[in-house]
Structure 1
């Protein structure tokens, strides 16, 4: 069922949602509210990822877009049933209503369940103080979706608050897991490290900061020929540990004392990234330490 509301209010949206649910059946088992703040340019891709994540985490998805204009008013679209695993609300805030997103969205949140806000592209400087961000238990950004990913990551690091995370960190999950496993296999002492990547790659900056923070060594940066992170080399007293992406989806994995291996290391789609982030509701202390290291390294440069 799809319901369109023009020049409406939060109260009218909530009433229409209740009425729709009486028609198609109650939405039992919803575990969270996912608030997505995006723009028209990326709307379709973001909506697809948000809806797909709801199949793993049944949720009320509220997509907010801002529309420039002189007159403040609210348009809404409600979708329930139709194969949706939860509720889908699309809100278009016109004019000065963008400054009141908290009062508009608050009555539409699921009670007694977590609220996560996701900015897939541009994001405010201080997430926790943003009107919509202030409603959230967790706040997710994506520096890779910003016009300048490196600058966006630095802003995230300088304004980090408990509950913040960024999908540049999630993109590194497989890299971090393989590098951690390699040290478990060798029990070697790491004396240095190097990250090869595309110039000014935000995930590579975060990866280098994480390695430096966790291992207590200097981490070099080298420009690579391919997109994203190309290779990580850990220099140890037993030989080099090397994780090198040789082609899309595949990497060479070398650990001293072990046979060389080929491992899967694909670039993960947006749906996978946001679905993984919705699995945890607590603050990510390791991510926080890594972004603090980014700020510390900038201060030393």
Structure 2
């Protein structure tokens, strides 16, 4: 069910929500958090809403979508309430703003926050430099960005590193969770030798690849080469290399010196899957913070090694 409230106010919106609960039995019990999505029409608000709805099946929540429209237009708030099949396991409140209201997202969202539950914010693109200092970011325990979706992921990660605060995270970080788990499991096997060099390859504009480099640099205490080309990881050690190479979007091949190659399922992760992972915790992700500091030890080059 979708209810449109053109040219409205947050007070009128709240009254309509109360009426829905009374007349239609709109559920409140079971909502575990509030997710604020900050976007604009150019980015594609419907795509962000679909991802939030899918993530809500794991984390039933209230989703507040703040869409920043034309600042030069007259002040106006057009709202929409989505429940039932149009909202996944959540209830979605869409706030389309224009004029001076485009800068008042935090004030508009505050009256709509669920009481006594954590608050998370997600910027699908065009995130602020300092998330914790942003007015919406100040409302939240968890602040989520996506450096892979930015025009210049490397610059976006530099921005995240310079303005990091506990609670910040990145969907690009969640995208490499299976890769990090695989690398960790391979290194947790004999002969337990020190890794002397590491190379991570992948598309040039991929913040997730940069973060993988930063993570390895921080955990291994070495410089890591960031190559452009096939998605792969090469870890060098005295007894021979460990190579993990993407064969397609769902499978990787692992080659270890002296052993037969093997293949493992490692499918690409959707935005919704990454968002659901980031909503599982509201505390500080110290390993992500270490990966950001490790970016200083990443050496960029033009092509990947085989």
Q: Same fold (TM over 0.5)?
A: yes
1:255 Cα deviation from its structure 2 partner? 3.5
1:274 Cα deviation from its structure 2 partner? 0.7
**Equivalent residue number for residue 291 of structure 1:** 292
Among candidates 181, 197, 205, match of residue 202 of structure 2:
197
Query: What 5-or-longer segments of structure 2 have no aligned partner?
Result: 299-306
> Which runs of structure 2 are paired with 1:106-145 in the superposition (5 Å)?
106-145=110-149
1:254 Cα deviation from its structure 2 partner? 2.5
Q: Between Structure 1 and Structure 2, how many residues are aligned? A: 294
- After superposing the two structures, state which structure 1 stretch, 103-112 or 265-274, moved more: 265-274
Does residue 27 (structure 1) correspond to residue 28 (structure 2)? The answer is: yes
Does residue 234 (structure 1) correspond to residue 235 (structure 2)? The answer is: yes
Among candidates 52, 59, 62, match of residue 60 of structure 1:
62
User: In 1, distance between residues paired with 2:98 and 2:5?
Assistant: 14
Distance 1:86 1:204, change over 3 A: closer
The answer on whether the counterparts of 1:53 and 1:275 sit within 8 Å (CA) in structure 2 is: yes
1:83 Cα deviation from its structure 2 partner? 6.0
Distance 1:153 1:258, change over 3 A: same
Deviations 1:61-98 (A, max 9, x none): 11110111332221100122346422110001111112
Which SS does the other structure have where 1:214 is aligned? Answer: helix
Does residue 10 (structure 1) correspond to residue 14 (structure 2)? The answer is: no
Does residue 51 (structure 1) correspond to residue 56 (structure 2)? The answer is: no
Among candidates 161, 165, 168, match of residue 169 of structure 2:
165
Deviations 1:152-192 (A, max 9, x none): 12111111111000111111111100000001112222111
User: In 1, distance between residues paired with 2:86 and 2:162?
Assistant: 41
- After superposing the two structures, state which structure 1 stretch, 143-152 or 45-54, moved more: 143-152
Greater fraction of residues in helix: 1
- After superposing the two structures, state which structure 1 stretch, 108-117 or 248-257, moved more: 248-257
1:286 Cα deviation from its structure 2 partner? 0.3
Per the normalisation by structure 1, the TM-score is: 0.92
What's the C-alpha RMSD, in Å, of the aligned pairs?
1.8
The answer on whether the counterparts of 2:217 and 2:297 sit within 8 Å (CA) in structure 1 is: no
Query: What 5-or-longer segments of structure 1 have no aligned partner?
Result: none
User: In 2, distance between residues paired with 1:248 and 1:178?
Assistant: 16
The answer on whether the counterparts of 1:20 and 1:80 sit within 8 Å (CA) in structure 2 is: no
- After superposing the two structures, state which structure 1 stretch, 92-101 or 194-203, moved more: 194-203
